[in-house]
Amino acid sequence: MKKYISDWTVKENVCTHSCCLLKLRLDEEEQTIFPDFIPGQFVQVLVENSPSTFLRRPISVHFADKSKRELWLLIQAIGEGTRKLSELKPGEKLNLIYPLGRGFTVPKKNENIDLQINSDKKLLLIGGGVGVAPLFYLACCLLKSGYRPDFLFGARSKDHFFNIQAFEKIGKLYLTTEDGTCGEKGFVTQHSILKSTKYDFVYTCGPKPMMQAVAKYARQNDIPCEVSLENTMACGIGVCLCCVEKTKKGNSCVCTEGPVFNINQLLWQI
């Protein structure tokens, strides 16, 4: 997939106490093609005017709309770089390298021999914290293909969910919190829906311990499962070999071989 580097214009930056939804537009005068982003792919964002931020920040695609030339990023301000991004104002420019990485598998409607999924089978998207970011675009693409996925999101407490209203419009939403302030108390893998419903495919993104617990559940129940990793990256294009994860093929770059992996590719001890 051809990669591009260009400036995008901040159209809107909607911040809540927990995160910012950054809506970017690729100007027509940029003359660059708006690529067909695959859910799970990411962009490398250049953070300017932040002396302590040297490297670009890899941020996953929250939503992309080719007709409007819009790209949405969901950003949790955890460090200096992401804090700078959360402060961007409409009209400001942001330099991106895109689209990067391998995304989630979106089954084509009624042609799902390989994945053994069809539209009456059930898909579950499990997210933890800001890990829900790529799952929104994934859900939109699944919906386009004729699948209405369920969502299972976990957070520390009720104030730590990100943009969940948007997911509610697409499919059924199940929640867990560690303190029991919202949904069922506990971790996502303890939610009752996993016992009452047999899912056919699980996609997950969130903290690594959570994804490993989800992978374990999927393996025990013989459910195909894709996880999106976020190992620390420098280049994002497969040249520095810093973001490696151990796979059956050896050390694989998360930025080019992933960030999405089928759990069968990984050497996780689960």
Q: Which residues form the interface with other proteins (CB under 8 A)?
A: 2-5, 46, 51-56, 97, 231-246, 250-251
113 burial level (CB within 10 Å; 0-12, 13-18, 19+): exposed
Task: State the minimum distance, in angstroms, from the CB of residue 114 to other proteins.
Answer: 27
Residue closer to other proteins by CB (options 165, 269) is: 269
Residue closer to other proteins by CB (options 52, 196) is: 52
Taking CA atoms, 90 is separated from 8, 44, 93, 97, in Å, by: 11, 20, 9, 20
What dihedral angle (degrees, nearest 10) is formed by the CA atoms of 174, 176, 229, 219?
A: -80
The answer to whether the CB of 39 falls within 8 A of the CB of 104 is yes
Task: State the minimum distance, in angstroms, from the CB of residue 211 to other proteins.
Answer: 15
Q: Report the distance separating Cα 219 and Cα 80, nearest Å.
A: 38
Taking CA atoms, 239 is separated from 38, 234, 251, in Å, by: 21, 9, 13
Task: State the minimum distance, in angstroms, from the CB of residue 267 to other proteins.
Answer: 12
Nearest by Cα to 69 from 96, 108, 106, 40: 96
Instruction: Work out the end-to-end distance of the chain between its first and last CA atoms, rounded to an integer number of angstroms.
Output: 33
Residue closer to other proteins by CB (options 97, 218) is: 97
Residue 104 one-letter amino acid: F
Residue closer to other proteins by CB (options 99, 224) is: 99
Task: State the minimum distance, in angstroms, from the CB of residue 231 to other proteins.
Answer: 6
Residue 253 one-letter amino acid: C
Residue closer to other proteins by CB (options 182, 237) is: 237
Task: State the minimum distance, in angstroms, from the CB of residue 122 to other proteins.
Answer: 34
Task: State the minimum distance, in angstroms, from the CB of residue 251 to other proteins.
Answer: 6
Residue closer to other proteins by CB (options 35, 186) is: 35
